[in-house]
Each structure stands twice: as structure tokens, then as C-alpha cells.
Amino acid sequence: CSKRLVSYSESAVELNESKDPMVGTVSDAASLSDPPTLAFPSISTSDFQFNHEKASEIIVEKVEEFVNKIGNARLVLVDLSHGSKILSLVRAKASKRNIDSKKFFTFVGDITRLHSQGGLHCNVIANAANWRLKPGGGGVNAAIFSAAGPTLEAATKEQAKSLLPGSSVGVPLPSSSPLFHQEGITHVIHVLGPNMNPQRPNCLDDDYVTGCKILHDAYTSLFEGFVSIIK
């Protein structure tokens, strides 16, 4: 069986990857002992080109505000690579705050394969969406819609047709979706962050006063959405 190293918070753990991802059921993927967990990407900091320093400040501030409102649940900031600038900025800032490291940590991995490849069970994942709530476009949005299959687009349409910057919508994942039965994910929360990329709609033209307010609102909406799902 193959093994690889994945960073868990700031330490490294060895994970077993022998499990066939095709044979999982939600009951395999979701152990009863796992606390409710939201995995979320850093909203707006890649395709939407939001400043990483400012975004990391907002993430840590919002996590500190919410981490005591979620009982035993966990918040996990995810990115694809060990070299992720946003993960290291957030880790450095979080270590200086009063944040329980069992309830908030960073994780390196593909948000659509956290259980099957990373051994981390998250029942809710967040998506850095576009305003039309459409598949594709690259980044984590393309990865989540592709891994979830067509049922996610249909289930999303039942909840909302579009999103305003700074808002989010929670979508229950149909049990036929591979993300449900292979990864144990029951909900996807689509979040629309501020856009600083002139090639994308509603660019804020470097207006970071508005941009920071929208990013604050986006994380508030995301974490409140998670709280309402786990209640």
C-alpha cells in the first residue's frame, strides 16, 4: 500500500492510502467519532487576486470570533501546496491569537479528496464560487463541481440562482454525489468573495476598503452557514 506525507497543522503525519476510493459509503467516510468539520479554501486570494496579507488578517480575525461558537466542531483552512503563502501567513497570525489548535488548523490537500487522500473527514466544504454559481472557471470551483458530479449544479439551483459578493448559500449534497459517498461530505457552502481581478466581473479596482468589508462579510456568512448546518 502506498504512503505519503501530508502536513497536519504544522506537523507531518504518515497516512495510509490503501483504501479504494470507489468503494466508500458515507458511513465508511464519516466516523461517528469525527466532530463536525468545515474545510474551506482561502476565498478570493487566487483567481480574484485579493492581497494575501490582508486576507490572512481577516481569516484569523473571523476564525477567532467563530471558533468559540461552534461547540466541538472544527474549522480547517485548506490549500493545495505545502508552499502556500496564505496557509503560512494564517498559521503565523493564528499562533499569536487565543485560538484552540484542535478546533482550527491548516491542511494541505485537494478539498475534494480530503478523506480519501488525506485521511481528514470534513462533513461540510466551502467553495470559492462565481456569482452565477456555475461550474468551471478554474480553481476550487471547477474542482468541486467536477468532483461532485452534475447533481451539485441541480441542487445548487434549487437554493439560489446567483450570489452577491460577501454572501453564501449552503447546498445539501445529494447522496448520489461521489463527494457524499466517497468523501462523507453532506453540504457544500458556495461563497462569493471580493474580486480584484480586472478580467473578472465586478472588479473593485484596488478598493481595499470595500474589498476588506466584503471579505469580512463573506467569512461571516460562511461560518454562520456552517453553524446553522451543524445545529
Residues of the shown chain interacting with ligand AR6 in the complex, contacts defined by CB under 6 A:
41-48, 78-80, 86, 110-112, 128, 130, 137-141, 143, 193, 200
Q: Between vectors from CA 16 to CA 88 and to CA 35, what angle results, nearest 5°?
A: 65
Helices (H), the chain: 26-29, 52-66, 85-95, 114-118, 139-148, 151-159, 178-183, 208-230
Are 155 and 173 spatial neighbours (Cβ–Cβ below 8 Å)? Answer: yes
| Closer of 122 and 140 to ligand AR6 (Cβ) | 140
Task: Give one DSSP letter per residue of 150-201, joined into a string.
Answer: THHHHHHHHH-S---TT-EEEEEPPTTSHHHHHH---EEEEE---B--TTST
CB of 218 to ligand AR6, least distance (A): 9
User: Looking at residue 81, what DSSP letter applies?
Assistant: -
CB of 119 to ligand AR6, least distance (A): 15
| Closer of 102 and 132 to ligand AR6 (Cβ) | 132
| Closer of 67 and 122 to ligand AR6 (Cβ) | 122
| Closer of 72 and 199 to ligand AR6 (Cβ) | 199
Are 118 and 183 spatial neighbours (Cβ–Cβ below 8 Å)? Answer: no
CB of 194 to ligand AR6, least distance (A): 9
C-alpha distances out from residue 14 to 1, 29, 182, Å: 12, 18, 21
CB of 145 to ligand AR6, least distance (A): 9
Residue nearest to ligand AR6 (CB): 139
CB of 159 to ligand AR6, least distance (A): 17
| Closer of 112 and 156 to ligand AR6 (Cβ) | 112
